[in-house]
Every structure is written in C-alpha cells, then in structure tokens.
C-alpha cells in the first residue's frame, strides 16, 4: 500500500522516535508500497527550522535528499488540483499544511500516516 507521510511522521521515522506507532512503523517499513513525502512537509520543516521553532529538524532539512534516497521515499509535488481542493475543504481547520496534505491524500487516493486527527477530520484516510 502506498502512504503519504505527515511531517511529524517523517521526522519521527528518521529519528527512530518511540512516538511513531507500531502500525505506522510496520507499514512504512513494508517494501511493497511507496512512501511519499510531500513538498508541503519539506516547506513546513524548513520554515520551522528557519524560525527557530524546530531546531531538532535542522539535520533532516540539511540532509533531505540523502534521507529520501536512503529510505526510498518518493517526493510528491503540490499541484493546482491539490491547492484548489485544500482551499475548498469545508472543515474549519485553519492549518494550511494539514489542508494541503489532506487534499493530496484525497486526490491521490493515498492514506496519510499521521497521529493528527485533524487530517482525518478534513476527509483524508489515515493510518496510525
């Protein structure tokens, strides 16, 4: 099964955090499907590092290409359709990163690996 990694999921996977659920860990490790990392997550991490809000992600941001290749993650660009749906989702949730990830999940028909219930509330399928 293909999966779309939420921003915190990517960070927790790379840092081998105990915060990552066992089901999420198993499914990411399953080599039968593709794991996608959205440009949205890269922007979110880079922005938080720049603002000094998430310095632990600095190394991930600096070594992103290497991390992507090592884990065989596939990049997922943001399309016009993704952006349009993200803006139209009826849920009042205001986080633009979550809205874009949910829209990508819905359009690409890929569940999001996330502990964030707001993603599910936006209409995306979730694995956790």
Band (pLDDT 50/70/90 cuts) for residue 22 is very high
Q: At what angle do helices 80-88 and 96-108 cross, to 10 degrees?
A: 120
In the chain, where the domains are located? 3-127
pLDDT, position 16 = 96
Contacts of 108 (CB under 8 A, 6+ apart): 4, 36, 76
List, for residues 27-75, the tens digit of each pLDDT value.
Answer: 999 977 899 999 999 999 999 999 999 999 999 999 999 999 999 999 9
Radius of gyration of the chain from its Cα atoms, rounded to whole angstroms = 14
State how far the Cα of 60 lies from the Cα of 63, in Å rounded to an integer: 5
User: Domain 3-127, CATH 3.40.50.1010 — does that match?
Assistant: yes
């Amino acid at each position: 099964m293909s999966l779309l990694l939420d921003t915190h999921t990517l960070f927790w996977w790379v840092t081998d955090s105990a915060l990552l659920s066992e089901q999420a860990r198993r499914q990411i490790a399953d080599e039968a499907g593709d794991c996608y990392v959205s440009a949205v997550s890269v922007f979110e991490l880079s922005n938080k590092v720049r603002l000094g809000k998430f310095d632990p992600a600095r190394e991930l941001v600096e070594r992103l290409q290497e991390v992507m290749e090592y884990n065989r993650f596939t990049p997922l660009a943001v399309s016009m359709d993704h952006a349009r749906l993200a803006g139209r989702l009826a849920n009042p949730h205001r986080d633009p990163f979550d809205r874009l990830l949910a829209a990508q999940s819905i359009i690409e028909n890929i569940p999001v690996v996330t502990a964030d219930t707001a993603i599910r509330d936006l209409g995306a399928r979730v694995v956790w």
